[in-house]
Structure 1
């Protein structure tokens, strides 16, 4: 496997020089953040990311993410133009040696939590999701500001967008995903890129909005839309694992040939549709990450892995979930899991 680390560009408080010092770290996962969603990324911006990484002894081969514009998900009148822009981004990324593009098809919100700094018994702080707390939230009230919120929308725009979505059901979203995949997967193949859809996080509907990438059944449907090695998934253990009904190791087993990218993190269930993000070791959470890694290794996995969201520990302050210290501990744990699993498989 190729161990990687999420990096948010030159404004990220976690430096490339610090990332490089994590043992066995091969590269960074990043994106162009100064271009609006739906527009074409300048080659100069892609080149700058690649150059910065390589100057620090790191590769830049995974993009997370090329955002899918809301009009594509909605099937709006401007969707064809925006899809062509997306295809052009894939062509340009292929020119610079990008091999995997992680993306999602979640309406309006990306990952969502009810608390960004839940204090654990050891004094660390973590991200958590309490179902009843989320039910009490009103995203159109102007009082909600969480990581899954696109702050580029004004409040009026957000209200209108949510109302548009409430007229559409999950089958319409599936249809629009199909249109998107039929257009972009052939371009990804030509560019040498594997598309890796990220599961909905959490993997159930929120605020009355449809969500469709939630477990094994939905993955089967997604990969059947276009049967191509470039049509794959991001195996995010924390996102799939948040749902008690999902067996993450079984997902790894069934879709091993469609997994170019893995997010490894643990969650601790606190109730139905409630959880907090736990330290990476299996005994700290509800997921057996070694079982997942063993399954991947058994199938010859040689793709990209990154430690996902981490806690804030040792007094660190920063972007919730994306500090240095706990993610570095997670990377060390991942190194150990893969070394053990690979040796076990060999002997």
Structure 2
């Protein structure tokens, strides 16, 4: 596996030199400073690629080219926006970037309610608390018909939870949910997010799925022509938020995506933590079923609770059997190598490490501190070595 590291560009407090010291060989980055929908030029791509290579690594994955709401809704200037997306994709491919990860989540990208949840060991983890989320959605944001999205017992618990919160806690919760997290498409205020959510009121999950399929039929041929493997990232968390349709959450969703344009370039990002945070998803079985179309993987772990809350665990603990998952991925790499496939090495990265030790005193992107990811990468490297010893 190609050990990789997410880097948010020159403004990232965790540097490329840090990634190199952690043992990463691949860099996962994007042109995070160009998020206004315009096409990324060959010069933009070459400049970023040169920075990565100067640090002694390779630009292994672009994560991500933002998919604007107009493409999910097929409204407004969607045609112009789609053409710009295709141009960015083509320029990445021609510039030598082999994999592009992207997502199709509406309005909010990956979402957590607590960015500093204390762990037993003394560090801090990311957490999604369903009751906190419902408290915000129903009683703070006051989304239209929000109560209808949840069971009566959950709404009652949310009301009681909110009553115990001070104003500072409520504002912190709102910031965590809607102000934007690293790699996200957008930031919101209470007013703008209400408007964005309302734009999806008449869009059913089937409509959203149809719009995704239409998007794929446009972009996959460009990827194939320019040597790019597309890797759609799952919804995070993989269930509806704010009553919005989310259509990349289950094994059957993956089957729909891959079947829509059934060519090797149309593949997935296997994010173990995202898929693993939905009850009923067997991440190892999903990896086995779709192994030949896994173009990129995020190796992180979660511990779920009965009400759909979850905490991001240590990389080798939690509900996903990481040893079994890595065994599946390494077996797939050997199979590809035997077939002579150019993509026999699957890029992976540790994801959302805990906030630990000296990093607790620093300003870092939530989930993307240095020490926690270094620890995760070291643990994963050890599992890979052990799996290789036994699979031989």
Which category describes the TM-score, using the shorter chain as reference length?
over 0.9
Alignment check: 8 A CA contact 2:268 2:294 kept: yes
2:97 counterpart of 1:98: yes
Q: Which of 351, 358, 372 is matched with 1:315 structurally?
A: 358
Alignment check: 8 A CA contact 1:110 1:147 kept: no
Structure 1 partner of 2:153: none
Alpha-carbon distance in structure 2 between the residues aligned to 1:217 and 1:37: 33
2:19 counterpart of 1:19: yes
Alpha-carbon distance in structure 1 between the residues aligned to 2:179 and 2:289: 33
Alpha-carbon distance in structure 1 between the residues aligned to 2:86 and 2:189: 28
- State how 1:256-267 maps to structure 2 within 5 Å: 256-267=291-302
Structure 1 stretches of 5 or more lacking a match? none
* Structure 1 residues 30 and 206: CA distance shift in structure 2, 3 A: same
2:133 counterpart of 1:134: yes
Alpha-carbon distance in structure 2 between the residues aligned to 1:240 and 1:149: 23
Alignment check: 8 A CA contact 2:26 2:347 kept: no
Greater fraction of residues in helix? 2
Alpha-carbon distance in structure 1 between the residues aligned to 2:27 and 2:205: 34
Structure 2 partner of 1:191: 226
Q: How much does 1:153 deviate?
A: 4.6
Alignment check: 8 A CA contact 2:287 2:328 kept: yes
Alpha-carbon distance in structure 1 between the residues aligned to 2:240 and 2:323: 29
Structure 2 stretches of 5 or more lacking a match? 143-169, 181-185, 334-343
Alignment check: 8 A CA contact 1:108 1:149 kept: no
Structure 2 partner of 1:339: 385
Alignment check: 8 A CA contact 1:252 1:295 kept: yes
2:119 counterpart of 1:120: yes
Larger gyration radius, structure 1 or structure 2: 2
Alignment check: 8 A CA contact 1:130 1:275 kept: yes
Which region of structure 1 is more displaced relative to structure 2, 81-90 or 137-146? 137-146
Secondary structure at 1:44 match in 2: helix
Secondary structure at 1:9 match in 2: coil
Structure 1 partner of 2:284: 249
Secondary structure at 1:199 match in 2: coil
CA-based RMSD: 1.7
Structure 1 partner of 2:163: none
The alignment's TM-score, normalised by the length of structure 2, stands at: 0.84
Q: How much does 1:322 deviate?
A: 0.3
Which region of structure 1 is more displaced relative to structure 2, 111-120 or 312-321? 312-321
* Structure 1 residues 207 and 3: CA distance shift in structure 2, 3 A: same
Alignment check: 8 A CA contact 2:178 2:187 kept: no
Structure 2 partner of 1:111: 110
- State how 1:29-108 maps to structure 2 within 5 Å: 29-108=28-107
Alignment check: 8 A CA contact 1:111 1:148 kept: no
- 1:198-251 superposed Cα distances (whole Å, 9 cap, x missing partner): 000000001111111111111111111000111111000000000121100000
Structure 2 partner of 1:292: 325
Alignment check: 8 A CA contact 2:125 2:353 kept: yes
Secondary structure at 1:28 match in 2: strand
Secondary structure at 2:86 match in 1: helix
Alpha-carbon distance in structure 2 between the residues aligned to 1:114 and 1:154: 16
Structure 2 partner of 1:10: 10
